[in-house]
């Protein structure tokens, strides 16, 4: 079969344009994976050595799918192509070369829980009040710094004069010292240390530049600064770089993604070829027209419009309810009806929402109606206590330098080693500049331990025996090793003797871990057919560390999936229910009131992603009244609903400009409120075959006005607030600041405040609840 068969014209151009920088703007459902895999096959057909190709995907699922398709197309020789995620690519490189940066190659990879535990221990040791500065905040700052390649020392310089930032800078430095001492890296370090390696070891960089003559990167819109730099360094010699992405689906700013990477691609690579993939193979025309109508309101984007040959399809359904309970009842009833009439199965349906908090009413209704469902984003298998315990044992066996793992398991199951004795061992380790495990080996040297010293030495001896057995090839395979660890440590016996009602489930989870070890052995063998040995314990621990939550979504189980829109990215469903479509929730209040319009554009991109998950039918719902942050709020229909051209959507729209219960809506500024509360859709792109131009604006339906008034209970005028211009006030999120201006307009009072740390913000007085100081 010809490689170019079954490709449309633009896809063919994407496959055959192999030399120089290429930007493939691939809209949702446009077949980008097919283009990437066919591009690899085309390169091989041209005589390129498989060894010289690097393809990077963002998730294990995407990398696995690409690998599978390439194997099917090419067969022999495809195993030499490097297809992996960013993080697994970095791990492979660092396992070979990180010793040049002063680390051992058997480093441990810390997950989020490990990071939190480390931060918590540092804060406790250094008397930092985590009620004033939460561990989550500290971790967020550290991660942001690493994504922007800002070291602890560099951040410390910028923190001068700000008490909170100085404390965070202190924790950042101590956190890095702890990781180095434990020979550990967190996920951000995997990327950052790889870039450091390339920068400081030009011979290593050159070796990979000479190997990777052709580089392809999927989901380029989701890359952050350090990922951008890593790819730039690898591609700077040969410049045969093909990036695939869609700026309209850039929704991970909160994780550090930088949309400018894709928007400015031609600036960084002036000779680049830009190819647009606009034909959609997933959704019906009405769904695509709605998506085009919404996203066309963004200014920071590359012009494109999706179209489809699947036919017009059904119009989008819009339903407004009094409250979230009625919203959930309708969705449950609609799904049951479709399943009963054999139109769909449960697994064909997905309910999407902006925040996890919205799932509660849906879950309760599904339970009442006996609808099989799965909540995506719950506790990950590898995040369960018993699994983390066993993995901590395996990490300790692999490397005794991981103090965090040793601390986790030293008294699990209980061995009579108390917190006070453990503190003494940790002090001894610090004073002697050794690991905690080595301190346990030398427990008889630690003053005032008494009989606990023998318990510590017995624990260390058990670990050393297991380590020796693992190193000397005692076990035939990984499942046997894991099984022996579970038994020899007493963990399984402790669970079997437990009165805990969850004990049986926990034992089954441990059995599943053994099964996963066996599955990894099979996977390793298929990917490394010429390997002389099976996978090592280190290989297995690395694999486990790189597993992502969304990778575990099982499409074979007949269940409705409940998930956030972020979690749904990359997935598709016949029936999609997009819930909570209200201003204040989606888009969120912070995005509506932010001075930076990019915040609202990010929310609009998220709406676009949600809409384009639907293949056949899309239902959008909202509630007039919803409990948010412990308070009842009356919210108007989402701005994004009102941006959908009226000919593509039907439903129970409000018959007048405001709802029966008039709801508050925050606008970006007083001036915008006065200028144009709701003026229609502007240009609306349509999903007609072979057309990607915007057609004239269409008349919007008479939805809720952007100037809807406040409820009687929450209505505020400039005269009713208890603060004045010049007063100092406090906001629950932004902190303290000075009121710069107060202005009322059509039932809404907006307050302009210059905050000490957050800068200038324009807030709706009814929402802001400012406290006068």
- DSSP secondary structure string, 644-680? S-GGGEEE---SSSS-SS------S-HHHHHH-S---
State the catalytic residue, choosing from 219, 327, 543, 646: 219
Q: What does DSSP say about strands 735-745 and 748-755: parallel, antiparallel, or unpaired?
A: antiparallel
Residue 525, CA atoms < 13 Å, CB-side half-sphere: 9
Burial pattern 36-66, b for ≥16 Cβ within 10 A else e, equals: bbbbbbbbbeeebebebbbbbbbbbbbbbbb
How far apart CA 739 and CA 727 sit, in angstroms, is 6
State the catalytic residue, choosing from 10, 32, 334, 583: 32
How far apart CA 672 and CA 689 sit, in angstroms, is 36
Question: Is 642 a known active-site residue?
Answer: no
State the catalytic residue, choosing from 315, 319, 455, 613: 613
Of residues 611, 643, 703, 667, the one with CA closest to residue 297: 643
Alpha helices in 182-323 (DSSP H): 187-200, 202-211, 225-235, 260-263, 265-268, 285-295
State the catalytic residue, choosing from 85, 108, 225, 249: 249
The answer to whether the CB of 7 falls within 8 A of the CB of 277 is no
The answer to whether the CB of 560 falls within 8 A of the CB of 346 is yes
H/E stretch holding 44: helix 32-45
How far apart CA 666 and CA 766 sit, in angstroms, is 9
Question: Is 33 a known active-site residue?
Answer: yes
β-bridge mates for residue 600, sequence order:
none
Question: Is 445 a known active-site residue?
Answer: no
Terminal CA-CA length for the chain: 75
Positive or negative CA dihedral for 701, 702, 708, 711? negative
Question: Is 613 a known active-site residue?
Answer: yes
State the catalytic residue, choosing from 16, 33, 130, 273: 33
Question: Is 92 a known active-site residue?
Answer: no
How far apart CA 301 and CA 427 sit, in angstroms, is 55
Of residues 182, 149, 144, 179, the one with CA closest to residue 165: 144
State the catalytic residue, choosing from 71, 114, 218, 601: 218
How far apart CA 459 and CA 400 sit, in angstroms, is 12
CA of residue 231 relative to chain centroid, distance = 20
3-state secondary structure 370-388: CCCEEECCCCCHHHCHHHH
Structure tokens at 735: 């902190």
Active-site amino acid positions: 32-33, 218-219, 249, 613
């Amino acid at each position: 079969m010809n490689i170019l068969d079954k490709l449309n014209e633009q896809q063919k151009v994407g496959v055959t344009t192999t030399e120089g920088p290429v930007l493939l703007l691939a809209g949702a459902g446009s077949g980008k994976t097919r283009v990437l895999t066919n591009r690899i096959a085309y390169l091989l057909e041209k005589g390129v050595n498989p060894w010289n190709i690097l393809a990077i995907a963002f998730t294990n699922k995407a990398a696995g799918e690409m690998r599978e398709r390439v194997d099917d197309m090419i067969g022999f020789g495809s195993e030499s192509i490097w297809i992996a995620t960013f993080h697994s690519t970095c791990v492979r490189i660092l396992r070979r070369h990180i010793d040049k940066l002063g680390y051992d190659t058997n480093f441990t990879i810390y997950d989020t829980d490990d990071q939190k535990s480390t931060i918590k221990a540092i804060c406790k040791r250094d008397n930092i009040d985590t009620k004033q500065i939460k561990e989550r905040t500290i971790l967020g700052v550290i991660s942001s710094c690493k994504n922007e390649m800002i070291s602890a020392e560099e951040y410390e310089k910028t923190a001068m004069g700000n008490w909170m930032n100085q404390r965070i800078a202190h924790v950042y430095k101590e956190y890095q010292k702890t990781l180095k001492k434990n020979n550990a890296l967190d996920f951000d370090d995997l990327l950052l240390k790889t870039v450091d390696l390339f920068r400081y070891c030009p011979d290593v960089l050159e070796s990979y530049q000479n190997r990777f003559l052709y580089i392809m990167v999927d989901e380029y819109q989701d890359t952050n600064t350090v990922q951008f730099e890593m790819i730039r360094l690898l591609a700077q010699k040969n410049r045969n770089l093909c990036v695939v992405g869609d700026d309209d689906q850039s929704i991970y700013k909160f994780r550090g993604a930088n949309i400018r990477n894709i928007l400015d691609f031609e600036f960084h690579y002036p000779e680049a070829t830009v190819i647009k993939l606009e034909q959609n193979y997933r959704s019906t025309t009405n769904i695509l027209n709605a998506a085009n109508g919404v996203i066309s309101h963004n200014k920071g984007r590359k012009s494109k419009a999706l179209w489809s040959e699947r036919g017009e399809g059904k119009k989008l359904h819009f339903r407004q309810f009094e409250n979230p309970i009625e919203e959930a009842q309708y969705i449950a009833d609609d799904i049951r009806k479709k399943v009963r009439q054999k139109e769909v199965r449960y697994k064909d349906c997905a309910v999407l929402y902006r925040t996890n908090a919205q799932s509660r009413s849906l879950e309760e209704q599904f339970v009442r109606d006996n609808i099989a469902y799965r909540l995506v984003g719950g506790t990950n298998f590898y995040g369960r206590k018993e699994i983390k315990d066993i993995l901590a044992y395996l990490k300790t066996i692999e490397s005794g330098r991981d103090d965090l793992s040793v601390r986790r398991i030293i008294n699990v199951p209980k061995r009579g080693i108390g917190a006070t004795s453990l503190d003494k061992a940790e002090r001894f380790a610090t004073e002697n500049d050794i690991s905690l495990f080595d301190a346990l080996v030398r427990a008889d040297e630690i003053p005032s331990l008494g009989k606990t010293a023998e318990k510590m030495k017995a624990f260390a001896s058990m670990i050393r025996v297991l380590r020796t057995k693992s190193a000397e090839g005692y076990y035939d395979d990984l499942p046997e090793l894991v099984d022996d660890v579970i038994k020899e440590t007493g963990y399984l016996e402790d669970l079997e003797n437990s009165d805990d009602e969850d004990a049986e489930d926990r034992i089954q989870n441990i059995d599943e871990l053994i099964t996963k070890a066996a599955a990894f052995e099979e996977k390793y063998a298929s990917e490394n057919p010429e390997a002389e040995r099976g996978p090592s314990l280190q290989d297995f621990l690395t694999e486990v560390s790189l597993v992502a939550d969304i990778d575990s979504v099982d499409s074979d189980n007949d269940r409705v999936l409940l998930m956030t829109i972020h979690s749904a990215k990359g997935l598709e469903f016949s029936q999609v229910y997009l819930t909570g479509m209200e201003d204040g929730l989606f888009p969120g209040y912070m995005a509506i009131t932010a001075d930076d319009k990019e915040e609202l554009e990010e929310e609009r991109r998220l709406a676009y992603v949600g809409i384009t998950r639907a293949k056949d039918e899309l239902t959008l719902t909202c509630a007039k009244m919803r409990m948010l942050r412990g308070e009842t709020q009356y919210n108007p229909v989402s701005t994004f609903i009102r941006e959908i051209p009226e000919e593509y959507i039907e439903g129970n729209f409000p018959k007048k400009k405001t709802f029966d219960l008039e709801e508050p809506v925050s606008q970006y500024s007083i001036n915008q409120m006065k200028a144009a509360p709701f003026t229609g859709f502007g240009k609306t792109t349509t999903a007609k075959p072979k057309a990607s131009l915007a057609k004239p604006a269409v008349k919007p339906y008479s939805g809720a006005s952007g100037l809807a008034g406040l409820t009687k209970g929450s209505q505020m005028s400039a005269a009713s607030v208890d603060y004045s211009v010049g007063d100092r006030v406090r906001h629950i999120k932004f902190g303290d600041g000075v009121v710069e201006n107060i202005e009322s307009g059509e039932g809404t009072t907006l307050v302009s405040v210059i905050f000490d740390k957050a800068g200038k913000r324009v807030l709706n007085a009814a929402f802001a609840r400012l406290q006068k100081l």
